[in-house]
Structure 1
Amino acid sequence: MDQTLSKLQPIALSLLRVITGLMLFQYGVAKLLKFPPDSPFAKVELMSLYGAAGSIELIIGGLLILGLFTRPVAFILSGEMAFAYFIGHFPKNFYPVINGGTAAILLCFTCLYLVTSGGGPISLDALLRKRG
């Protein structure tokens, strides 16, 4: 069983990267494109801290989905999520379950893992490596 599952690890890594990118991308869409309209982020101003975060999440989250420049992109997103947690959530309460910061912590450490592991075999990084 262990050997069978370990063969799937590279595919799972690529899937983890895509889903993590989609999770971050959706926040960028909500903050900058105001979709869905009933999102709590629909009132975010472009020239604000939330607007800057939305720009990072939209553009760099899109790169993460594609698996392009995965390691530096994941490093930036990991830092952004740590920043989001300590600026936006931690001051509300020490406990993540109360301060609403669970997603930020999970995204931070998932991106940190992607910094060390790369984007996996189903990525533009892997495609460019094969060509070069």
Structure 2
Amino acid sequence: MNFSRPATLRTVGPVVQAAFRLVTGFLFACHGAASLFGILGGAHGGGTVPALQWPGWWAALIELVGGLLVALGLFTRTAAVICSGSMAYAYFSVHQANALLPIKNGGEPAVQFCWSFLLIACLGPGVCAVGSLLKRRPAVGIDDRPAPVPMS
């Protein structure tokens, strides 16, 4: 039996992976922007999180910066691990105290983001990531030719 992926999945898979990364990062960044700046409906009823307040302001900062980094595909794995951890912390410190299951304690978004970012951290950014584009560009003035060997 042949267990290899079909050709269409091999070609479309990286694009879908990148789209998933982009959408997940963008939505996460929107949460952070709403909490920090009161835009897009604001934090919990239209306001902003007080500056430097633990953990809300710091979580919003991770959401904004981490979400943007993941969406852009820059330091993707590291940013995704931090974002995933922040959502795990949010779930266990805020939501789980209210009820055991996410459907009862309002923690579905935290759980979904946590696992989504963990998936992104494991799979990487996919195609069209800024980090991948930067790695491919050679430095100015440097080429791939080997250095000449000195003659003795």
Asked if TM exceeds 0.5, the reply is yes
Please name the residue that 1:11 is paired with.
15
Q: Residues 38 and 122 from structure 1, CA distance in 2 versus in 1: closer, same or farther, beyond 3 angstroms?
A: closer
> Runs in 1 of length 4+ with deviation above 3 angstroms?
none
Tell me the SS of whatever aligns to 1:8.
helix
Q: Which has the larger radius of gyration?
A: 2
Q: Residues 118 and 38 from structure 1, CA distance in 2 versus in 1: closer, same or farther, beyond 3 angstroms?
A: closer
Equivalents in 2 of 1:37, 1:119: separation in Å? 29
Offset, 1:25? 0.4
Task: Flag structure 1 segments of 5+ consecutive residues without an equivalent.
Answer: none
Task: Flag structure 2 segments of 5+ consecutive residues without an equivalent.
Answer: 139-152
Q: Percent identity?
A: 33
Q: 2:34, 2:42 within 8 Å by CA — same for their partners in 1?
A: no
Instruction: Confirm or deny that 1:47 pairs with 2:52.
Output: yes
Cα RMSD (Å) of the superposition? 1.7
Instruction: Confirm or deny that 1:23 pairs with 2:19.
Output: no
Q: Residues 47 and 38 from structure 1, CA distance in 2 versus in 1: closer, same or farther, beyond 3 angstroms?
A: closer
CA displacement 1:20-61 (0-9 Å, x = unmatched): 101210111111010134651624212211111111111121
Pick 1 or 2: higher relative contact order, CA cutoff 8 A, min separation 6: 1
Q: Residues 18 and 87 from structure 1, CA distance in 2 versus in 1: closer, same or farther, beyond 3 angstroms?
A: same
Instruction: Confirm or deny that 1:34 pairs with 2:38.
Output: yes
Please name the residue that 1:113 is paired with.
119
- Comparing 81-90 with 34-43, which one deviates more in the overlay? 34-43
TM-score when normalising by structure 2: 0.80
What amino acid sits opposite 1:46 in the alignment?
A
- Give the length in aligned residue pairs: 132
Please name the residue that 2:146 is paired with.
none
Please name the residue that 1:91 is paired with.
97
Q: 2:42, 2:48 within 8 Å by CA — same for their partners in 1?
A: no
Offset, 1:66? 0.6
Please name the residue that 1:56 is paired with.
62
